[in-house]
Amino acid sequence: MDVLVLGGGGREHALCWSLERAPSVDRLVCAPGNAGTAEVAENRDVDATDPAAVVALAREVGADLVVIGPEAPLVAGVADALAEAAIPVFGPSAAAARLEGSKAFAKDVMAAAGVATAGSWTGTDPDEAIAALAGFRPPYVVKADGLAAGKGVRICADEAEAAGAIEEAMVEQVFGEAGRRVVLEEFLSGPEVSLFALADGRSARPLVAAQDFKRALDGDGGLNTGGMGAYSPVPAVDEAMVEGLSASALTPVVAELEARGTPYTGVLYAGLVLTSAGVQVLEFNARFGDPEAQVILPRLETDLAELLAACAAGELASAPALSWDERACVTVVLASGGYPGAYETGKPIEGLDEAAAVPGALVFHAGTRRQGGQVLTAGGRVLAVSGRGATIAQARATAYRAADAIHFEGVHRREDIAAAPTGASDPTAAEQA
């Protein structure tokens, strides 16, 4: 089949890498892509968030399947436009993607589906919100309902700070429309892990768990980022737990959205907190995680295109069984200096071939572009360097060995990715490897 992938980050390079290896794929096109996707697919300079432009491109290349990587095209209704044009699409409709786009909507769906999640209050009146704080204990969690570029969640030490966060969101409207409605939430304490599932509108099939590292600096310091690294598997989340969560949290959400007339097709990404009282769902996202995709997809042995096409057709039940590489995978993000704040681009990247030559390593591009014979930095997160190995410690050593070979001016990475995997019998064992 001929496949069109939308997006241009590290996740999309991992998707293209996996699809290019899939026996069922004849032709692979990526829009807009990056210097890495250009090595495994045909890049096309088309705006992935423009529904009409995407439909035109899909028609032109005769796509049998369109795979949507990031959330922006989902929110923009690209999946709806493709469905309308009778082009098979992997990715939820704008209505179903509200699971990620509106925290209040996600809470409502979780409540209706009986999913274990933090207790919450939702409303649009600032005075009522401040009064509702009395129903919670510190630390207070104040969330803008809509998408706020990763800045919409405030963890507040006391009631005064929480009231300030409510004022900023609802009265000063620092997040614009996204903060008109707020969600107050019980604070959940414990390690965060991500679990992914494929959904075809009617049913879900769990993939595997991964853990990402959201903060910019070692020891979980600094600002929140899109993710500075990840590893999979997560020792704390075994197969039995994945099956249990599939039945208690993933399948019920797919069933609830089907019952509401907005069936969910695509990746269902559950952000989980492993609390001392059990697993709670923190949030749902409507796509693969980035950089989690860069550790999950290298482990998948099954033909990815067949799986995603089966979801698009509503026939996940008849898709091939999932087969996983038993090896672990760790990815280390190389970012531009200053990210997630201001940073410069256009820096030449050295050592890409040397890194790729490290046995077990895979170099995924994120913010890169090719100019003449050179690959230049073109974004905040520039590369995700993945390593595979028999253990997480060995995969980690491979990822860092490959990352060591790469240089560009101002490069920043964390040194502690997967150093102490959650649930490992000796969480420091990886450090000694």
- Chain residues that interact with ligand AMP, rule: CB under 6 A: 118, 141, 153, 155, 185, 187-188, 192, 214, 271, 282-283
Nearer to ligand GLY (CB atom), residue 64 or residue 212: 212
Nearer to ligand GLY (CB atom), residue 227 or residue 380: 227
Q: Can residue 12 be called a binding residue for ligand GLY (CB under 6 A)? A: no
Q: Which strand (E) or helix (H) includes residue 325?
A: none
Q: Can residue 292 be called a binding residue for ligand GLY (CB under 6 A)? A: yes
Residue 289 contacts which entry, ligand GLY, ligand AMP, none (Cβ below 5-8 A, type-dependent): ligand GLY
d(CA 371, CA 252): 48
Site for ligand GLY, residues 217 to 236, rule: CB under 6 A:
226-227
Angle formed at CA 285 by CA 284 and CA 288, multiple of 5 degrees: 130
> Least Å distance between CB 333 and ligand AMP?
16
Nearer to ligand AMP (CB atom), residue 39 or residue 192: 192
Residue of 334, 360, 284, 309 whose CA lies nearest to 113: 284
Nearer to ligand GLY (CB atom), residue 33 or residue 227: 227
Q: Can residue 212 be called a binding residue for ligand GLY (CB under 6 A)? A: yes
Residue 292 contacts which entry, ligand AMP, ligand GLY, none (Cβ below 5-8 A, type-dependent): ligand GLY
How many beta carbons lie within 10 A of that of residue 23, not counting itself?
8
Residue 51 contacts which entry, ligand GLY, ligand AMP, none (Cβ below 5-8 A, type-dependent): none
d(CA 247, CA 230): 25
What would you measure as the largest C-alpha separation in the chain, in angstroms?
Answer: 61
Estimate to the nearest angstrom the gap between the alpha carbon of 103 and the chain centroid. Answer: 16
Q: Can residue 7 be called a binding residue for ligand GLY (CB under 6 A)? A: no
> Least Å distance between CB 313 and ligand AMP?
31
Residue 285 contacts which entry, ligand AMP, ligand GLY, none (Cβ below 5-8 A, type-dependent): ligand GLY
DSSP letter string, 133-179: GGGS-SSEEEEESS--TT--EEEESSHHHHHHHHHHHHTS-TTGGGG
How many beta carbons lie within 10 A of that of residue 79, not counting itself?
30
Residue 222 · residue 80 · CB < 8 Å: no
Residue 192 contacts which entry, ligand GLY, ligand AMP, none (Cβ below 5-8 A, type-dependent): ligand AMP
Nearer to ligand GLY (CB atom), residue 192 or residue 315: 192
Q: Return the SS3 of 407.
A: strand
From candidates 18, 49, 280, 285, binder to ligand GLY by CB under 6 A? 285
Q: Encoding tokens for residue 7?
A: 């997006």
